[in-house]
Amino acid sequence: MLGISSRSSAAVNVMVLTVQKAATGLIRDFGELEKLQVSAKDFGNFVTTADQRSERLLIDELSKARPEYDILSEERGEVPARQPRSKFDQNGGYKWIIDPLDGTMNFLHGIPHFAVSVALSHHDEVIAGVVFNPITNELYWGERGAGAFLNNRRIRVSGRRAMASAIVATGSTFGFRGRDDGHARLNAISKRIGAIRHFGATSLDLAFVASGKMDAFFDARTNAWDTAAGEILVKEAGGSVSPYGDGIVASNLSMHDELKGILE
């Protein structure tokens, strides 16, 4: 197992081992892209056989390790626990939230920027998260009250205060009132910051915010599997996360209110 802090819990260790197993298959398929069978999906997105294999492995391994936990997955949706518990049981109310391949379009085009993401929630509050880029071998993980880490090194959000020198990442939805609104918001923020980036993998964008590589991230439309693991990374690294439309805005504390003001 890639080196992580001895402070990690048993649940985090399960998550780390599982994402590394899933990553082995993704690395193999990434090297054989021409052999993959691809099927169309809504709005130009794609599901690959690699994505599906990764999802099956994640669900199988996590269910074996914690059969009493539910699972929420990008492709299959809600997967009930194999051994369900009452919500009043001390082992009840847990759910894995998984994205078997975040950055699918990057993957399909041979761009080495994608990740496997797993989070754990308890009664709908995320308590741990892991984001793994198998190409760079960067394993980001965080746990409530324990901090956030890159491999075995503690990470913190940036200390940058000036928006004019900030690097801000964005997802594919800039605004929440249609295309024109999105373009207007993107134009407004572009005039106030140092640079804007769109890398195509939300979990890694949030991991970059948590580790201080970037100062902020925003997207007006996200899903739980996109952001769950990354959100706890940002929070445990000393940052802040707030709702933005049907998505989130995440940043260091110094510029969070100012950034929200620009986006509103």
SS3 of 26, please?
A: helix
pLDDT of residue 90: 65
- Is pTM, for the whole model, over 0.85? yes
CATH number of the domain encompassing residue 75: 3.30.540.10
Range of the domain at 108: 10-154
- Taking only Cα atoms into account, the Rg of the chain, rounded to an integer number of angstroms, comes to 18
Average pLDDT over residues 51-73: 95
Please give the full DSSP string across 165-181, using - where no structure is assigned: G-EEEE-S---SS-HHH
Q: Based on the fold, state whether residues 110 and 27 are members of the same structural domain.
A: yes
CA distance 70 to 83: 9
pLDDT in tens, 142-171: 999 999 999 999 999 999 999 899 999 998
* Residue linked to tokens 């940002």: 234
**The two three-digit tokens of residue 56, written as one number:** 């099956």
CA distance 57 to 53: 6
CA 37 to chain CA centroid, Å, is 25
pLDDT in tens, 22-45: 999 999 888 877 666 666 554 334
Structural domain count, the chain: 2
Q: Based on the fold, state whether residues 146 and 254 are members of the same structural domain.
A: no
Q: Of 132, 154, 176, which residue is a domain's last?
A: 154
pLDDT in tens, 189-232: 888 889 999 999 999 999 999 999 999 999 988 999 999 999 99
**The two three-digit tokens of residue 39, written as one number:** 């099927």
Q: Judge whether 49 and 37 are in contact, CB under 8 Å.
A: yes
- Exposed/middle/buried for residue 260 (C-beta within 10 Å: 0-12, 13-18, 19+): middle
| Share of residues in the chain with pLDDT > 70 (%) | 86
User: Which residue from 3, 2, 224 is spatially nearest to 117, judged by alpha carbons?
Assistant: 224
CATH number of the domain encompassing residue 245: 3.40.190.80
Q: Of 100, 129, 154, which residue is a domain's last?
A: 154
